[in-house]
């Protein structure tokens, strides 16, 4: 049947509830939104922002499946924009993929589905890996015409079998069977449908209505209309629904069987029942499909006036549906743009808060944060240099503070250029700067000598005639037992030695 079931213990109660919620989305939505809200509140109370965000994304997924794709996609986009956590980013991509797919934007949906799957690792909760693999497999195949790409389905099935969750196992088999049915691979579709029924029987609970519709369609195509009827009757009487269009789809399939058997009045009754649901729950696409079949049934009975009216109504409804989908996608795009702009603004303001206003280099706060991060990560090789402009007070006193500011700006430009693509420069305060150079001692000394020479050789006369600027530099490499205080103290001692030794030099 598949690989041995793997049940890694949940790391905490929040993960256990998330696993339960993600699996339950494929079974029945009754009470799930309330449970997700409880998970969010409890996670926030415990200071766990990751699981609070994941709980909100479960609600967004439920919105998508309940026909509220605009809301679901917007909420997921907001989480994606605000998140720094990899699991949250991955789940947000998965929810956006599902919403866009339901709105008909399959090309954009599959990009998000790929990101959702790619971001997860072997150590992440298996239920999320299964969920994202199932989504990717379905959406990759929704892009294909003429053949089914089985590999994505096989990968998702192996993961689902490892997890052992019957609803996720059946969900992937359902999507796989539907792809085969749609592309005319009836033998494969029939094998997969039988596996769905076997898993349902083993688990002891009925397939949801979406899965029952797939099985009935496959059986009907195989000429097994009696079995297809029993599957539909049982689903409509007992099965839970996970998508707002699932019951209408079952009723349409049932009506097609009735019509094929010659029971046109029975088909009409099922279609009227279907339209009651589609109008009540606002499912315009299924309503349009029901209208088209109604017209066909009335034509079968010779009631051509009714058939004509319903065909006109079908075309109007189908055009309106396409317009609604287009407007919904436009609205989603506008919301995504607004969220991205807000994120860019936040990043812009954060960048401004971390920059020295005069030189554009990092300020002291950002410099200290970077040094702390480098030390915590144990980055090697790494050198730190303190740089001080020689006799800078004389520049201000002799040539004016405005000239001094111009010198600082020019030095900032030189440091930004000469530290290289991987190095960083910051204004430490006044005329003192700090350099972070991911280089070995020899390479760092070479860079510092270039900096010293560039400052000394610069044509400062364009700021003020007779102006000359030099710099002294103290250089050290990080040691395993260093902290920020010891690193900067060592660099400062070497800077002092450079000053005392005659200035315009590097000491290491």
**Packing angle between helix 126-142 and helix 150-163, nearest 10 degrees?**
160
Cβ–Cβ under 8 Å, residues 251 and 217:
no
Cα(208)–Cα(243) distance, integer angstroms: 9
Q: What is the model's pTM? A: 0.60
Per-residue pLDDT tens digits of the chain, which is 508 residues long: 444 444 455 567 888 899 899 988 988 888 999 999 999 999 999 999 999 999 999 999 999 988 888 899 989 988 988 877 899 999 999 999 998 888 878 888 888 898 899 899 888 889 999 999 999 999 888 766 667 888 899 999 999 999 988 999 999 999 999 999 988 899 999 999 999 999 999 888 788 999 999 999 999 999 999 999 999 999 999 888 788 889 999 999 999 999 999 999 999 999 999 989 988 888 887 888 888 888 888 788 787 666 556 665 656 655 655 555 555 555 555 555 555 555 555 555 556 668 888 898 999 988 998 999 899 888 889 999 999 999 999 998 899 999 999 999 999 999 999 998 889 999 998 999 999 999 999 999 999 999 999 999 999 999 999 999 999 999 999 999 999 999 999 999 999 999 999 999 999 9
Angle at 200 between CA 196 and CA 204, to 5 degrees: 170
CA proximity to 92, closest of 63, 112, 111:
112
Q: Where are the domains of the chain?
A: 1-164, 364-507
Q: How far apart are CA 152 and CA 137, in angstroms?
A: 5
How many Å apart are CA 292 and CA 307, to the nearest integer? 9
* CB 369 within 8 Å of CB 431: no
- Helices assigned H by DSSP within 46-185: 49-65, 69-82, 86-103, 106-118, 126-142, 150-163, 166-182
Topology of the domain comprising 1-164: 1.25.40
Residue 189 CA to residue 219 CA, distance in Å, equals 9
Homologous superfamily of 364-507 in CATH? Reverse transcriptase/Diguanylate cyclase domain (3.30.70.270)
Note the helical H segments in 261-363: 264-280, 284-300, 304-353
Where do we find the tokens 């079995």? Answer: 227
Q: At what angle do helices 209-221 and 166-182 cross, to 10 degrees?
A: 40
Predicted confidence at residue 2, as pLDDT, reads 44
Report the distance separating Cα 368 and Cα 14, nearest Å: 35
């Amino acid at each position: 049947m598949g690989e041995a079931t793997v049940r890694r213990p949940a790391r905490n109660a929040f993960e256990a509830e998330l696993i339960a919620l993600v699996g339950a989305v494929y079974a029945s939505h009754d009470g799930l939104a309330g449970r997700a809200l409880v998970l969010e509140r409890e996670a926030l109370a415990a200071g766990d922002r990751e699981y609070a965000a994941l709980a909100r994304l479960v609600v967004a997924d439920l919105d998508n499946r309940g026909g509220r794709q605009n809301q679901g996609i917007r909420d997921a986009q907001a989480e994606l924009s605000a998140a720094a956590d990899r699991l949250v980013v991955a789940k947000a991509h998965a929810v956006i993929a599902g919403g866009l797919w339901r709105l008909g934007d399959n090309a954009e949906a599959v990009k998000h589905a790929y990101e959702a799957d790619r971001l997860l690792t072997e150590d992440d909760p298996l239920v999320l890996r299964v969920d994202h693999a199932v989504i990717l497999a379905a959406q990759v195949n929704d892009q294909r015409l003429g053949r089914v790409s089985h590999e994505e389905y096989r990968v998702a099935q192996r993961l689902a079998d490892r997890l052992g969750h019957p609803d996720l196992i059946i969900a992937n088999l359902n999507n796989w069977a539907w792809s085969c049915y749609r592309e005319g691979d009836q033998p494969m579709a029939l094998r997969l449908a039988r596996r769905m029924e076997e898993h349902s029987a083993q688990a002891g609970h009925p397939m949801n209505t979406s899965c029952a519709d797939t099985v009935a369609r496959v059986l009907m195509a195989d000429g097994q209309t009696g079995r297809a009827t029993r599957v539909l009757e049982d689903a409509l009487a007992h099965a839970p629904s996970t998508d707002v269009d699932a019951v209408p789809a079952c009723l349409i399939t049932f009506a097609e069987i009735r019509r094929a058997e010659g029971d046109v009045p029975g088909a009409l009754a099922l279609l009227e029942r279907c339209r009651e649901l589609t109008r009540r729950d606002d499912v315009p696409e299924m309503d349009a499909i029901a209208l088209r079949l109604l017209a066909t049934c009335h034509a079968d009975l010779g009631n051509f006036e009714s058939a004509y009216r319903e065909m006109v109504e079908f075309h109007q409804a189908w055009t309106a549906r396409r317009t609604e989908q287009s407007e919904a996608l436009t609205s989603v795009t506008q919301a995504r743009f607004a969220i991205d702009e807000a994120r860019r603004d936040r990043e812009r303001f954060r960048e401004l808060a971390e920059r020295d206003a005069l030189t554009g280099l990092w300020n002291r706060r950002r410099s200290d944060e970077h040094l702390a991060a480098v030390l915590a990560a144990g980055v090697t090789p790494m050198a730190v240099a303190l740089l001080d402009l020689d006799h800078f007070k004389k520049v201000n006193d002799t040539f004016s503070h405005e000239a001094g500011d111009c010198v600082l700006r020019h030095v900032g430009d030189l440091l930004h250029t000469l530290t290289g693509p991987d190095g960083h420069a910051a204004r430490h305060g006044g005329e003192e700067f700090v350099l972070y150079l991911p280089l070995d001692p020899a390479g760092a000394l070479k860079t510092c000598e270039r900096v010293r020479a560039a400052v000394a050789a610069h044509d400062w006369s364009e700021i003020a005639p007779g102006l000359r600027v030099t710099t002294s530099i103290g250089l050290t490499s990080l040691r395993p037992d260093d902290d920020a205080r010891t690193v900067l103290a060592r660099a400062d001692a070497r800077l002092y030695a450079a000053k005392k030794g005659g200035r315009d030099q590097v000491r290491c």
